[in-house]
Amino acid sequence: MTIKNYNEMRAAQHLTGDAMLIIDRLGYEIRRAESVDTGDSTLDSSPGRLSLVAEDDDEETTITLESGTVRIAQDGVETGALNGEHTEVTSLVFRQVGSGASSGIRTEFTLLSSDGAATSTENFYTFFVMREAQ
Amino acid sequence: MDKKRHLSFGFSFGFELIEVIVGAAVITLSLAAIISMLLVTLRESLAAPAELKAAALAEEGLEALRSLRNQSFASQIAALSVDTPYHLSFAGGAWQVSLSGGYIDGEFDRTLLFESVYRRTSDSDIVDAASPDTKALDADARKATVTVSWWEGNATSTVSAATYLTNLYDN
């Protein structure tokens, strides 16, 4: 096992960890949403922007891509980044699918991870139904 | 006196040789085990992104079926044949279930399989189709299994996820 192998392994680990975090958080936010604020969202193109309105307290959650980092904000206050310093999201697209109770958000993103000279990249696709949509 | 010293020297030399041989064997086996473990860790780590992507595709498939179920259980779920493999694709901004489909990113194959759901007459619990219990077909439910397969190394890897879809909105 060489330094190159070690770097490749670390790059793959960074990629997997950050992808999992992004997918989990997207699922949590989209599933609890009632609707999409389409006026404050950028759908069907990258870099995407998604503003979700939750039913319980009209809280608006916004997910954006800025300089390779997926950021999340609630009611305009940024709460953090979803990927770390070792990874870069090179593309993020949100698509609204269906209507009424069947409406959901499909997310497509490409994650690039690097460690030393090694890099790892993968496309990920997720879809979550907005449980509160009527 | 010389003979005794010679024997002592010979015994001492022989013991050390055995120690060296045993020690070398232990070190060799340990190194082999450590290298083997590192190679397994390396292989698993390098395969992890593809496995996560496959798991996400499988979960996405189930969620897409929930969306189609919410749209119309009768036309989107119940109308599909059971025990027939389908493909799920996202095209034109909508989910489409079809009998044939391409690979996702040229690498991942995602298939769906619907199965009939039977309920035991006595308590309405779901039972296997082969169960000897008295049971009835639940026309308002289907078991859906999404399987994602991809070629990895020199073998095909698969990830599966399953759920029950019921006619939640009576549609």
Query: Model confidence at B17, in pLDDT bands (50, 70, 90)?
Result: confident
Does A44 have pLDDT greater than 50? yes
**Would the CA dihedral through B64, B69, B75, B78 be positive or negative?**
positive
Cβ atoms of A94 and A107 within 8 Å: the answer is yes
Q: pLDDT value at position B42? A: 85
Q: Which of A14, A16, A103 to mutate to test the interface with B (most CBs of B within 10 A)?
A: A16
State the nearest Cα–Cα gap between B64 and chain A, in angstroms.
Answer: 7
Query: Model confidence at A2, in pLDDT bands (50, 70, 90)?
Result: confident
Average pLDDT over chain B, rounded to an integer: 90
Residue pairs spanning A and B at CB distance below 8 A: 81
Q: Which positions in chain A touch B50 (Cβ < 8 Å)?
A: 122
Query: Model confidence at B15, in pLDDT bands (50, 70, 90)?
Result: low
Cβ atoms of A15 and A7 within 8 Å: the answer is no
Mean pLDDT over residues B142-156, rounded?
94
Q: Is A33 on the interface with B (CB under 8 A)?
A: no
- Interface contact flag, A1 B39, Cβ < 8 Å: yes
Query: Model confidence at B8, in pLDDT bands (50, 70, 90)?
Result: low
State the nearest Cα–Cα gap between B17 and chain A, in angstroms.
Answer: 31
User: pTM (2 decimals)?
Assistant: 0.87
Spatial distance between the Cα atoms of A63 and B105, rounded to a whole number of angstroms:
25
Does B162 have pLDDT greater than 90? yes
Chain B residue with Cα closest to A127: B60
Alpha helical stretches, state H, chain A: 3-31
| C-alpha distance from residue A83 to each of A66, A90, B54 (Å) | 11, 12, 20
Mean pLDDT over residues B136-152, rounded?
96
User: Percent of chain A having pLDDT more than 90?
Assistant: 76
Rank A54-58, A95-99, A125-129 by mean pLDDT and report only the highest: A125-129
Query: Model confidence at B65, in pLDDT bands (50, 70, 90)?
Result: very high
State the nearest Cα–Cα gap between A103 and chain B, in angstroms.
Answer: 7
Sequence spans of domains, chain A: 3-129
Q: Which positions in chain A touch B90 (Cβ < 8 Å)?
A: 97, 106, 125, 127
Does B18 have pLDDT greater than 90? no
Does B14 have pLDDT greater than 70? no
Q: List CB contacts of B150: < 8 A, sequence separation 6 or more.
A: B50, B54, B107, B108, B109, B156, B157
Q: Which positions in chain B touch A98 (Cβ < 8 Å)?
A: 67, 70-71, 94
Q: pLDDT value at position B39? A: 87
- Interface contact flag, A1 B45, Cβ < 8 Å: no
- Interface contact flag, B59 A126, Cβ < 8 Å: yes
State the nearest Cα–Cα gap between A95 and chain B, in angstroms.
Answer: 7
Using CB atoms and an 8 Å cut-off, which of residues 44-63 of chain A contact chain B? none
In sequence order, what E strands does chain B have? 86-91, 94-98, 108-120, 126-127, 135-152, 155-166
- Interface contact flag, B49 A19, Cβ < 8 Å: yes
User: Percent of chain B having pLDDT more than 70?
Assistant: 91
ipTM value:
0.92
Does B4 have pLDDT greater than 60? no
Q: Which of A5, A14, A96, A127 to mutate to test the interface with B (most CBs of B within 10 A)?
A: A127
Mean pLDDT over residues B53-65, rounded?
97
Query: Model confidence at A59, in pLDDT bands (50, 70, 90)?
Result: confident
User: Percent of chain A having pLDDT more than 70?
Assistant: 98
